[in-house]
Amino acid sequence: MTMTLDFLQSFLDWLTHHSVWSGLIIFLIAFSESLALVGLIVPGALLMFAIGTLISTGHLPFVSTCLWAVAGAVIGDGTSYWLGNYYRDNLKNLWPLSRHPQILDRGSEYFKQHGGKSIFLGRFIGPLRPIIPAIAGMNNMPIPRFMIVNIISGFAWAPLYLLPGMAFGLSLTVASEVAGRLVMLSIVLIVLTLVFLWLSKRIYKATLPRVDKLFFNLMDWSHRHPIAGQVPAALIKPEHPEVRILSLLALLLLFASAMLIGISQLMGPETIFSQLDKLIHFNLQRLHTPGFSSFMQYVQGWASPVNLSITVALFIFWYWSQHNRLVIGHVVAALLVPWLLITALSTIFPLDDRTYVFPALPVTVSISVYGFIAVALARELPQKLHPLIYVPVAVIVFLISFAQLYQHQYSLSDVVIGAMVGAIWLAILGIAYRRHAQQPYIKARSITFIIVVMCLSIFVIAPGHKEQSTIINFQHIKNISAHDWLSEQWTSIDLHRKDLRFLQHHPLNIQLAGNLDRISATLQKNGWRVPPSARGLGVLQWLNPAPELERLPVLPHVHDGQYEKLRMVKHTGNKIYVIRLWHTRVKILNGNQSLDLWVGNAGALKKFNIMGLSMFKTDHQFYQAMQLVKNDINESFVIQQKILPEDRNKKLLLAYPAK
């Protein structure tokens, strides 16, 4: 990992110092993305997003990068025009259009409909972007007219496609200043969400064409088996009563889940799944940050019993007023059956110190409830609009599942089994509802109401019912004598800020024993002050192009999953120094005193401008800052300086109160 990061940093430095070569690379990306045939293969939008990220992180200049991108786009479209004018109808015989002729047909249709405007509009439409100019050439569009629209669209396209990457890069820059863990977690969560949506889409497309065949086979089987055939018949025949069969299937699901738990008990604790659970828990715990933890607690609130119950109650109230008893029954079953099922399982199998798989209740119930709401809504909409319903619900369910892992309330096995149980029950309910609902009950106003209820549930009700994390810090208070601490035990305390394991950019160059209020008062007496925080209206100072440095917020840092307890700054001339202190679970025994030990970082801040924002960033002048702190606390604290074991050029400050 370290070698990969070093290579990446070297490449970024090379881009920064070789503007001509980096400009040519940007030109080729924009050119190939706009070129007929080639543009269908090159992931130009993704590459432009990456270039935008490099702009906001300071590795590429904005103006020249935009101009290189505009030049590549304009010349690429011009080349596509020439290819279309030269090859004419033979263009469709060239790969990859020979395999996807419908793209050329769509482009021709679009060009006939919009004429010259299609050159401008088509540049912003995915697969049509490299095809429209070629079609313009095939149709002998006048070259002057084409070039005017081509140049105007190029100047509009480049900044617009760079902007999302620039915004993302800005967020990475801010997040990495607070904690590299936050960047890593954000990337991991985004990637996992996209993979989950891709898998869900593939499964949906693979199963949808087979549903009718499955129903036909079930109907045929039910006719040939009068007794056992009552189960599928009750689900898929509209005239067949379903309540009794749904109860039977719920009971069978209970027995199947109990058998699965029993089998997991027999397998023992040292299975490959349990080892995977431990690996995931270990790595997620090392990535904890306060802000992300709060967000995960917020997400857990989406699946809290109170939130789900209020959501279902609002649905019942609305559908009762619409005289729709069928939906009411299924919504109630979506909430109660999974909850009763897992409650029954928890009665059968003790949950204390368990070493077996047990379905994650929040995951099971949220899939059942939110999933059925999506099924009910999708039934009333055209199939092409189904993704507008299913995608947000899939993201909600995935985030709820990930929150259980992050907060360590359930293991991966628990989440997977809970998702399977919830999905099975959702499939049973969904099939039964869609086959028994004879007329469209939900009107346009009802769909609007449902969307409003979902938003209220997620953004208003849920925050008031956050689930508490079950993570327990089992580290006990460690007592160290002052003599042992000053002689050798100081090396056992963290010497670098715990962020990502392969990043050690911020040394913890201060260890202070004593009362935090006394430390703060001593620093304040010598000119240190608490800076504005990055909350509320204070962040508006970031928009000020020439802010007063005293009013500019200072971002917190994360060490071992926690923000610092003390953060103070001092202005000396044109320099701004900062000290941050984190609490440790160590007590220093000095005579009859038991002193809290604080580890900290003294460094410098520098102002930088990025995308019109003025912010502070850590400057690596740690030794000068440490010497300033030493001079300011010298009268009230006994001070010793130590040399770091791994680097004799770096020093550490140890201090405890003077008697």
Please give the pLDDT value at position 144: 83
* Residue labelled with tokens 């019993």: 305
| Per-residue confidence band for 215, with pLDDT thresholds at 50, 70 and 90 | low
| Residues 332-380: tens digit of each pLDDT | 888 988 898 888 888 877 766 666 677 888 999 999 999 888 888 777 7
Please give the distance of CA 127 from its chain centroid, rounded to a whole number: 27
* pLDDT-based confidence at residue 1 (cuts at 50, 70, 90): very low
Let me know: does 29 contact 44? Beta carbons within 8 Å.
Answer: yes
pLDDT in tens, 157-196: 888 888 877 777 766 666 666 666 666 677 778 888 888 8
**DSSP H or E run through 520:** helix 516-525
Winning range, highest mean pLDDT, from 76-80, 197-201, 626-630:
626-630
Most confident of 128-142, 151-165, 398-412: 398-412
Distances (CA, A) of 85 to 117, 122, 137, 140, 374: 19, 18, 4, 7, 49
For 444-456, how does the pLDDT look when each residue is reduced to its tens digit (9 = 90+)?
566 666 667 667 6
> In this structure, what token pair is assigned to residue 426?
């959702």
C-alpha 570/C-alpha 582 separation (Å) is 19
Mean pLDDT to the nearest integer, 521-534: 88
Say what the pLDDT of residue 581 is: 94
For residues 445 and 546, give the distance between their C-alpha atoms in angstroms, rounded to a whole number.
50
Q: Average of pLDDT values for 52-60?
A: 73
Q: How much is the pLDDT for 238?
A: 55
Structure tokens at 161: 């496609």
Q: CA distances (Å), 203 to each of 68, 258, 553, in order? A: 41, 27, 48
Q: Which helix (H) or strand (E) holds 654?
A: strand 651-657
In this structure, the number of other CB atoms found within 10 A of the CB of residue 635 comes to: 10
Question: How confident is the model at residue 341, as a pLDDT?
Answer: 87
d(CA 567, CA 603): 11
Q: What is the pLDDT of residue 458?
A: 66
Find all residues with CB under 8 Å of 170, minimum gap 6, and list them.
56, 610, 611, 613
**108-122, 219-233, 430-444, 619-633: least confident range:** 219-233
Distance of CA 85 to the CA centre of its chain: 46
Mean pLDDT of the chain: 76
pLDDT at 5: 43
Closest CA to 315 of 336, 297, 301, 329: 329
Q: How many CB atoms lie within 10 A of CB 157?
A: 23
Would you place residue 2 in the very low, low, confident or very high pLDDT band (cuts 50, 70, 90)?
very low
Whole-number Å distance between alpha carbons of 146 and 149: 5
Written in H, E and C, the secondary structure of 364-415 is HHHHHHHHHHHHHHHHCCCHHHHHHHHHHHHHHHHHHHHHHHHCCCCCHHHH
CA–CA separation, 394 and 380 (whole Å): 19
Q: How far is CA 171 from the centre of its chain?
A: 12
pLDDT digits (tens, 9 = 90+) for 259-273: 776 666 655 556 666
CB count, 10 Å around CB of 156?
15
Domain boundaries, the chain: 16-178, 243-465, 478-657
The DSSP bridge pattern shows strands 558-559 and 478-481 to be: unpaired
- What digits encode the pLDDT tens for the residues 539-562? 677 777 777 788 888 888 888 778
Say which residue, 423 or 183, is predicted with more confidence. 423
Of 12-16, 259-263, 393-397, 452-456, the range with the highest mean pLDDT is: 393-397
HSE (CB half, 13 Å, CA atoms) of 290?
A: 10
Rounded distance, CA 569 to CA 591, Å?
Answer: 33
What residue type is 577 in one-letter code? Y
Residue 474 has pLDDT above 50, yes or no: no
pLDDT in tens, 592-623: 888 999 998 898 888 877 666 777 888 777 88
| C-alpha to C-alpha distance for 363 and 372, rounded to whole angstroms | 14
Closest CA to 119 of 90, 78, 161, 158: 78
